[in-house]
């Protein structure tokens, strides 16, 4: 009886052990499978986000030819911006040259007038001959008359010395102005030479692009038109922001480590960026893929200098779509793009606080998925925003 009981008990223990091992293995397999699936899902979500927020929102549609054109468009825009800057520099130098030439003419006239006056004085002295103080005493009718004549001659002598000094000063100033003029002319010639080289490079790049464009399909040509439209809008915005920066006097930017930026989205950091910064010839900012309607926040206090929607004549959104630019008055500006239609809560001229909501995440303009496109600009030009973000 005891042996039978022992055998039954042993059999139960073996069965329980087998069942425990089996369920443990099943749980481990399930856990591993769930973990793998979660990782795969995360990777897939990331790929989807990247596809949704690629350059100009159309990278997934680009052929090799279109990718080349996009690169050339960015280069053309860069060369054109540099050329515009050089032309502005040349115009400014020409204005300075004209001003200096007029100043030199005026100083030359003053110098000639003073020199003529001195020559007349010398002639008068020569014709009068040498007059001694004894002659003045003998010719004077009284002591007071002598003192009066003595004072007059002394004053004339002082005037002669002042005249000589002023002539020498005018001559020195003329030489300085002429040297400065020569320097400005040399600077202008160098700027003209650089502009000519940039223009040649620009023409060659445009020719290279034209060859590729001629081989595009109708759909690709339409896409090309959108990309060119976007590049032109970006260039216009850069010129506008450069003028604002210049007028405000905030030319020297704060160091990234001292900028004190917050995040443009609640609870997000740079680790949540889904599309990075590729420089001027690529993606000029960073993207955060997130749900439509997510609040967009000012990363730092400042003045709103642009708050608008970029639209075509037919009313459809283009380029940045609904976007805002804030001047933080420390040499940096930030741009927030592709927001929901009519979600902007601040207008131009408004002062905002750090962390204040300024709009909502959307997908207006050249975008194929809900995300915030965020840029940092210095002097109107885009820089890597990652170094400024927490």
Q: From start to end of the chain, where are the E strands?
A: 286-289, 295-297, 302-311, 317-327, 333-339, 351-352, 357-360, 371-378, 381-383
Taken in order 280, 286, 289, 290, is the CA torsion positive or negative? negative
For position 389, what pLDDT does the model report? 96
- In which residue are the tokens 């790049």 written? 205
The model's confidence at residue 164, banded by pLDDT at 50, 70 and 90, is: low
DSSP string, 215-272: T--HHHHHHHHHHHHHHHHHHHHHHHHHHHHHHHT--SPPPGGGS----SSTT--GGG
Q: Which of 384, 382, 386 is nearest to 77 (CA)?
A: 382
Q: Is 383 exposed, middle or buried (0-12, 13-18, 19+ CB in 10 A)?
A: buried
Q: What is the rounded average pLDDT of the residues 114-135?
A: 58
Task: Tell me the per-residue pLDDT of 235-256, one tens digit each, with 9 for 90 and over.
Answer: 889 888 888 888 877 568 999 9
The model's confidence at residue 231, banded by pLDDT at 50, 70 and 90, is: confident
Q: Mean of the per-residue pLDDT values for the chain?
A: 76
* Whether pLDDT at 63 is above 60: yes
Q: What is the rounded average pLDDT of the residues 162-188?
A: 76
Alpha helices in 129-142 (DSSP H): 133-139
Q: Which of 74, 80, 377 is nearest to 231 (CA)?
A: 74
Question: Could you tell me which residues come within 8 angstroms of residue 16 by beta carbon, excluding any fewer than 6 positions away?
Answer: none
Domain boundaries, the chain: 1-52, 92-208, 218-388
* Whether pLDDT at 348 is above 60: yes
End-to-end CA gap in the chain: 76
CB 103 within 8 A of CB 205: no
For position 52, what pLDDT does the model report? 37
CB 257 within 8 A of CB 335: no
Which of 13-22, 83-92, 252-261 has the largest mean confidence? 252-261
For position 19, what pLDDT does the model report? 41
Tell me yes or no: is domain 218-388 CATH 2.130.10.10: no
* Whether pLDDT at 222 is above 70: yes
For position 284, what pLDDT does the model report? 84
pLDDT, greater one: 318 or 219: 318
Q: Which of 310, 286, 251, 255 is nearest to 376 (CA)?
A: 286
For position 158, what pLDDT does the model report? 54
Q: What percent of the chain has pLDDT over 70?
A: 68
Q: Is 53 exposed, middle or buried (0-12, 13-18, 19+ CB in 10 A)?
A: buried
CB 365 within 8 A of CB 321: yes
Q: What is the 3-state secondary structure (H, E, C) of 315-328?
A: CCEEEEEEEEEEEC
CB 343 within 8 A of CB 322: yes
CA distance 363 to 102: 56
Candidate from 146-160, 167-181, 236-250 with smallest mean pLDDT? 146-160
The model's confidence at residue 381, banded by pLDDT at 50, 70 and 90, is: confident
For position 167, what pLDDT does the model report? 65
CA distance 390 to 230: 29
Task: Tell me the per-residue pLDDT of 82-119, one tens digit each, with 9 for 90 and over.
Answer: 888 788 788 888 888 888 788 778 877 777 776 676 66
């Amino acid at each position: 009886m005891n042996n039978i009981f022992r055998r039954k008990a042993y059999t139960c223990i073996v069965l329980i052990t087998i069942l425990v091992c089996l369920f443990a293995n099943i749980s481990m397999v399930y856990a591993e499978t769930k973990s793998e699936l979660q990782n795969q899902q995360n990777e897939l979500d990331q790929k989807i986000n990247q596809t949704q927020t690629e350059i100009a929102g159309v990278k997934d549609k680009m052929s090799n030819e279109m990718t080349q054109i996009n690169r050339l468009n960015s280069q053309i825009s860069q060369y054109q911006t540099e050329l515009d800057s050089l032309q502005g520099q040349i115009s400014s130098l020409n204005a300075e040259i004209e001003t200096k030439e007029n100043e030199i003419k005026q100083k030359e006239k003053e110098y000639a007038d003073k020199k003529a006056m001195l020559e007349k004085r010398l002639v008068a002295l020569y014709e009068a001959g040498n007059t001694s103080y004894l002659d003045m005493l003998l010719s004077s009718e009284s002591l007071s008359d002598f003192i009066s004549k003595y004072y007059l001659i002394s004053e004339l002598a002082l005037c002669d010395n002042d005249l000589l000094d002023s002539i020498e000063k005018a001559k020195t100033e003329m030489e300085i102005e002429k040297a400065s003029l020569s320097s400005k002319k040399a600077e202008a010639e160098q700027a003209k030479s650089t502009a000519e080289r940039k223009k040649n490079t620009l023409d060659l790049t445009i020719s290279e692009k034209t060859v590729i464009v001629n081989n595009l399909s109708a759909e690709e040509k339409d896409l090309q038109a959108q990309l060119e439209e976007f590049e032109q809008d970006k260039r216009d915005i850069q010129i506008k922001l450069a003028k604002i920066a210049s007028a405000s006097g905030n030319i020297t930017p704060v160091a990234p480590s001292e900028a004190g930026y917050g995040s443009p989205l609640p609870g997000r950091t740079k680790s949540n960026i889904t599309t990075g910064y590729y420089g001027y010839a690529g993606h000029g900012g960073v993207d955060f893929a997130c749900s439509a309607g997510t609040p967009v926040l000012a990363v730092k206090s400042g003045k709103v200098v642009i708050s608008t929607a970029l639209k075509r004549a037919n009313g459809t959104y283009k380029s940045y779509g609904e976007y805002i630019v804030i001047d933080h008055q420390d040499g940096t500006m930030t741009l927030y793009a592709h927001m929901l239609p009519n979600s902007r809560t601040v207008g131009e001229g408004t002062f905002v606080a750090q962390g204040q909501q300024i709009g909502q995440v959307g997908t207006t303009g050249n975008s194929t998925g809900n995300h915030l496109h965020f840029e940092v600009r210095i002097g109107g030009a885009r820089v890597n925003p990652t170094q400024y973000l927490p």
